[in-house]
Amino acid sequence: MQRDGTVPLDETFTETIEHYGRSYQHYSLTNGTYFAPIDEDEISRLEVMHGVLSRLFDGRLIFPPIRSPRRILDCGCGPGDWAIEVATQYPDAEVLGIDVSPHMIPENPPDNMELQVDDLNGRQVAVSKFTFRSNHFDVVHSQMVAGGIHANRWRSYIRDIFRVLKPGGWCQMVEIYFNAQSDNGTLSRGDFPIDHALSQWSRQYLESQQPYKDPRAPLQLASWMRSAGFTEVESRLLTLPMCGWSSVPRDYDIGRSNTDNVNQLLYSLALYPFTQFLGSSEERSQQPSIQGLLSRKATTVTAIKSHFEPLRHASVNREILCGQGL
């Protein structure tokens, strides 16, 4: 396995703090790296989401036309669900998963899988960029890392991926643009009492991420990949139903299986940025207690669920991009 540039794990990566009953990585909050929880509840949610995506992708793990990859890098691997499945599917490949949080990575990965704690922004102690040597990986997988990449890091992040790929290697990027939509327009008409809570969440979430993150980055990835030197860049937009509203059996099943993930995601992704970044410091100091937040959250989710089916046709767009190195 590739170990160039790695350093012993610094204890600062293991420190956690509690915020409204959820556990967060102290390093991530201090450095503006990642604002979502890293506790067991979040790990369980990510595992549910992996199952949903597996259905959405019809079980495909790697979209580019590559048969027998030797080295695979998974950026922002989280609990390692994708990396574990890839390591199992390609037992002769070396799979390396990296994540900023040691609290999430699995304890007993397959024999051909290795895990590394690293900050994709290059802020790890004594490390200024990717620790991997050039022309090394056959596949680099980057999925749902928009919440962990600084707004000004995206272009150099993609250039780093290009550098570590072998000639002819492939990059696969999967991201969600968290702007909830409905194919029948009811989500944006405001003709229901909550006007609509899901639309409000989307607007406030996008606002809370700036200037730390670029929640609209998924819309620009194809252009950035081409600028970095990737060829054969293909962008595929998939609609991910947020509940079981579709009349198409496959999409209905995906939406139903996604409901629990969405209910938890609305709270876990928003709790820290909503309470820390939205409004002035005086407004934040006047926010309700955790009991009030939980009550409001429960009310909002109930309202969202009641209007999801079947009127709202709510969904988000998930973009899959594949690019080949030179």
Residues contacting 298, CB < 8 A, separation 6+? none
Identify the domain containing residue 309 by its residue range. 11-278+297-324
**Three-class SS state of 318:** strand
Please answer whether residues 166 and 325 qualify as being in contact, where contact means their C-beta atoms are separated by less than 8 angstroms: yes
- Residue 261 corresponds to which tokens in the numbers above? 């993930």
Confirm whether 166 is domain-assigned.
yes
pLDDT value for 302: 42
Q: In what order do the strands lie in the sheet with 165-182?
A: 113-117, 94-99, 71-75, 137-143, 165-182, 314-324, 231-241
Please answer whether residues 6 and 98 qualify as being in contact, where contact means their C-beta atoms are separated by less than 8 angstroms: no
- Residue 75 corresponds to which tokens in the numbers above? 């950026």
Q: What gap in Å lies between CA 30 and CA 20, rounded to an integer?
A: 17
pLDDT value for 325: 77
Please answer whether residues 258 and 242 qualify as being in contact, where contact means their C-beta atoms are separated by less than 8 angstroms: yes
Confirm whether 3 is domain-assigned.
no
| Angle separating helix axes 197-209 and 290-307, nearest 10 degrees | 130
Please answer whether residues 307 and 167 qualify as being in contact, where contact means their C-beta atoms are separated by less than 8 angstroms: no
pLDDT value for 304: 39
Residues contacting 200, CB < 8 A, separation 6+? 194
pLDDT value for 301: 40
Confirm whether 1 is domain-assigned.
no
Ramachandran region, residue 126 (left: φ > 0; alpha: ψ -120 to 50; beta: rest)? left
Confirm whether 259 is domain-assigned.
yes
pLDDT value for 240: 79
- Residue 105 corresponds to which tokens in the numbers above? 């990575």
Q: What gap in Å lies between CA 211 and CA 222, rounded to an integer?
A: 22
Please answer whether residues 50 and 138 qualify as being in contact, where contact means their C-beta atoms are separated by less than 8 angstroms: no
Q: How many domains does the chain have?
A: 1
Confirm whether 5 is domain-assigned.
no
Phi, psi of 150, deg, nearest 5: -65, 150
Q: Note the pTM of the prediction, 2 decimals.
A: 0.84
Confirm whether 292 is domain-assigned.
no
pLDDT value for 326: 64
Please answer whether residues 167 and 135 qualify as being in contact, where contact means their C-beta atoms are separated by less than 8 angstroms: yes
Q: Could you list the pLDDT tens digit for every one of the 326 residues in the chain?
A: 444 555 667 788 999 999 999 999 999 999 999 999 999 999 999 999 999 999 999 999 999 999 899 999 999 999 999 999 999 999 999 999 999 999 998 888 999 999 999 899 975 544 446 778 899 999 999 999 999 999 999 999 999 999 999 999 999 999 987 765 555 555 555 554 444 667 777 788 888 888 899 988 988 999 999 999 999 899 888 877 777 766 788 888 888 888 888 888 888 998 999 889 886 454 544 444 444 444 454 444 444 343 334 334 444 455 677 888 76
> What is the chain's percent helix, strand, coil content, to nearest 5?
40, 20, 40
Please answer whether residues 280 and 300 qualify as being in contact, where contact means their C-beta atoms are separated by less than 8 angstroms: no
pLDDT value for 254: 86
Q: What gap in Å lies between CA 70 and CA 200, rounded to an integer?
A: 45
Q: What gap in Å lies between CA 268 and CA 257, rounded to an integer?
A: 18
Phi, psi of 69, deg, nearest 5: -65, 140
Q: What gap in Å lies between CA 122 and CA 116, rounded to an integer?
A: 14
Q: What CATH number does the domain containing 151 carry?
A: 3.40.50.150
Three-class HEC string of 164-228 = HEEEEEEEEEEEEEEEEEECCCHHHHCCCCCCCHHHHHHHHHHHHHCCCCCCCHHHCHHHHHHHH
pLDDT value for 180: 59
Confirm whether 208 is domain-assigned.
yes
Confirm whether 196 is domain-assigned.
yes
pLDDT value for 6: 57
